[in-house]
Amino acid sequence: MLIVAAVLAIFVYGMIASMLGTILPDFSKKFKMSPKQNGNVAMSQAIGLMIGSFFVGPLMDVQGVKTGLLLGLILVAVAIFGLRGAGGYSAVAGLMMLLGVGGGAVVVGANGLPPAIKMEALSTAGVFNVLNLFFGLGGLVTPLLAARLFQNNSQKLLVFAGGIIIAAAAIAGITEMPPPSGKVAFDPSQVGSLLGNTTLILLALTLFVYVAAEVGVWNWLVRHLIAQGLPEAKALTILSLGFALGLLLGRVAVSPILTGVSPERVLSGAALLMVITTYLMLQSSNPGTAQILVFLAGIAMAPVFPTTLAIVSARFPDMAATATGIAVTAGWAGLVTSSPIIGSIAGDDPKGLKKALLLLPAASLIMLLVSFGL
């Protein structure tokens, strides 16, 4: 039951992560939202993610994982069903912020479960990776269902997503989950001590630069490939069957490796491969070569997020949820800053993205140096 609860929660977060991009075209047309307003909606969700992930950690350390996870799922359900009745831009922005707050709580809560799950022949870090592959699955399923099953009808998609979220909350509600550590009570000074901890700073910086790089691929790779002369349909295929598939398979492949190799060494290896693959994928305009290199970049990136959270959980057992929340919040900060920086460097020329996207191997190099510090 604990595995089922974790899988559903992580799958729900994958749905949340891809929800905005899936429903935004329909909502933009319905409410005549400008590109600037679209950007503000995305920013409001990112701010919500930072708020939710930061504040749910102390709550979970005091009240237990179930409290934080259920709170997150309830907030997500309220936001999803609220979006069905949204009357305009302001309502959409507010509900997307609420969705972000709930989503931040869900991702911290869901990643509080793997240390309590024992899988034969897998380390704790391996369990983190196996379970987090369902994040990618949720992200792939949502737009696919929207296009194929619901014919881009956002109302039907939101009802479907709401049903999955209610099911996830019901399973979480009846599942026995790790209790509070009993070693801490909420004290702002304890949070302050974590914020000044060198190890946690390095782990938070790892997620900051990693999320900046991953979001850079999700948001800009298609436009870059189109600027290199590839048709839009082919560019989208490279993103889905290249990068997304690489993330999924990479987490499966790395899990057994983590039984014999330390998570810190896996991070260093992943960072090194990210430097190489993200640089090379920007140099090719041949569709076949580009897809292979993008796939390899996805493989390289796959273990970083779950493995980093596994290290956080192992190194801060007494305040694992609070420490996880701080690290994840740093990751969302990377989400907020990545695209504006890339867009600013590229300017008005789409071909300028080739230069701007060098931010990806640069971020990967920073991550490699940080991993040596760990």
pLDDT digits 0-9 by tens, 159-211: 999 999 999 999 999 999 877 765 545 555 666 677 788 999 999 999 999 99
Q: What is the pLDDT of residue 188?
A: 59
* Structural fold of domain 188-374: Growth Hormone; Chain: A; (1.20.1250)
pLDDT band for position 281 (50/70/90)? very high
Sequence-ordered list of residues with C-beta below 8 angstroms from that of 277, at least 6 positions apart, any chain: 293, 296, 297, 299, 300
pTM, two decimals, is 0.79
The CATH number that domain 1-178 falls under is 1.20.1250.20
> Does pLDDT of 363 surpass 90?
yes
CA distance 282 to 293: 9
Q: What is the dihedral of CA 135, 141, 147, 149, to 10 degrees?
A: -150
DSSP 226-292: HHTT--HHHHHHHIIIIIIHHHHHHHHHHHHHTTTS-HHHHHHHHHHHHHHHHHHHTT---HHHHHH
Over residues 60-113, the pLDDT tens digits come to 888 888 999 999 999 999 999 999 988 889 999 999 999 999 999 999 898 888
pLDDT band for position 35 (50/70/90)? low
Domain boundaries, the chain: 1-178, 188-374
> Does pLDDT of 243 surpass 90?
no
Domain 1-178 matches domain 188-374 at the CATH topology level:
yes
CA distance 238 to 226: 11
Q: What is the pLDDT of residue 351?
A: 76
Amino acid of residue 221: L
Q: What is the pLDDT of residue 71?
A: 96
